[in-house]
């Protein structure tokens, strides 16, 4: 059974930082592309950051230079370091794993106050 468990969300003031974690089980983590998505109220889910099995990363323009995605294959965990947070970063953040099939975590709420 595949499980992706996010943690690290919370309430932070604008300009602050948070680090999200996503612990994976039931998948070949090292061979999976890992992604972070987010969904704000009334908006579509959007792709925030991707890290391939090779370690290559990609970011949405809205977070480039502020967010950093990393992975620890030994711990089967992907991280999203979020710096210089803005109120518009407020959303539920979802972890996603892809290798032939796609899997989702349950999401973690991030709220940035102005």
Give the model's pLDDT for residue 96. 98
Give the model's pLDDT for residue 86. 98
Q: Convert the pLDDT of each residue in 66-82 to its tens digit.
A: 999 999 999 999 999 99
Give the DSSP per-residue string, 1-63. Answer: --EEEEE--EEEETT--EEEEEEEESS-GGGSEEEEEEE-TTS--EEEEEE-TT--EEE-TTT
Give the model's pLDDT for residue 52. 98
Extract the tokens encoding 109.
Answer: 């709420």
Higher local confidence (pLDDT), 1 or 81: 81
Give the model's pLDDT for residue 46. 97
Mean pLDDT of the chain: 97
Q: Among 84, 30, 78, which residue's Cα sits nearest to residue 50?
A: 78
- Mean pLDDT, to the nearest integer, of 97-106? 95
Q: Convert the pLDDT of each residue in 39-71 to its tens digit.
A: 999 999 999 999 999 999 999 999 999 999 999
CA distance 81 to 51: 13
Give the model's pLDDT for residue 8. 97
The percentage of the chain sitting over the pLDDT mark of 90, rounded to a whole number, equals: 97
Task: Give me the residues paired with residue 4 across strands.
Answer: 24
């Amino acid at each position: 059974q595949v499980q992706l468990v996010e943690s690290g969300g919370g309430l932070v003031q604008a300009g602050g930082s948070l680090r999200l974690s996503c612990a994976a089980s039931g998948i070949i983590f090292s061979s999976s592309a890992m992604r972070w998505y987010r969904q704000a109220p009334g908006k579509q889910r959007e792709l925030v950051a991707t890290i391939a099995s090779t370690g290559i990363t990609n970011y949405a323009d809205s977070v480039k230079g502020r967010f950093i995605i990393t992975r620890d294959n030994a711990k089967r965990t992907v991280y999203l370091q979020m710096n210089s947070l803005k109120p518009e970063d407020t959303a539920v953040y979802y972890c996603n794993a892809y290798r032939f099939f796609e899997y989702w975590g349950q999401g973690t709420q991030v709220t940035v106050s102005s």
